[in-house]
Amino acid sequence: MHRKASNTEMYQLIRTEDDRLLYAAYSVTGELYDAFELHKDAGGNNTLVNANPERPGY
C-alpha cells in the first residue's frame, strides 16, 4: 500500500459481506482517503481489489 497519513485525524469503517472484507478510511471532514476490498475464493486465497482508484498513490 502506498497511502500514508501522519498527524492526520481519520476514522475507518471495516465490514464483511459473504466472502469479502471491505475497508474505507475517511478524513474527519468525511473525504474518502483510501479504500480496498479483500475477496476470498473457494480455495481460501485472497485477492486485493483497489476500491478507490482515482486517489493518488496507487
Q: What is the pLDDT of residue 58?
A: 39
Greatest Cα pair distance in the chain: 40
Q: What are the CA-CA distances from residue 17 to residues 37, 55, 57 (Å)?
A: 10, 24, 27
Residue 28 in domain:
yes
Across the chain, mean pLDDT equals 85
Query: Per-residue pLDDT tens for 1-10?
Result: 566 777 889 9
Say what the pTM is: 0.75
Q: Is residue 32 part of a domain?
A: yes
| pLDDT reading at 35 higher than 60 | yes
Q: Considering the domain boundaries, does residue 57 fall inside one?
A: no
Give the residue numbers spanning the domain of 42. Answer: 11-50
State residue 9 phi and psi, 5-degree precision: -80, 130
Instruction: Look at the chain and report how many structural domains it folds into.
Output: 1
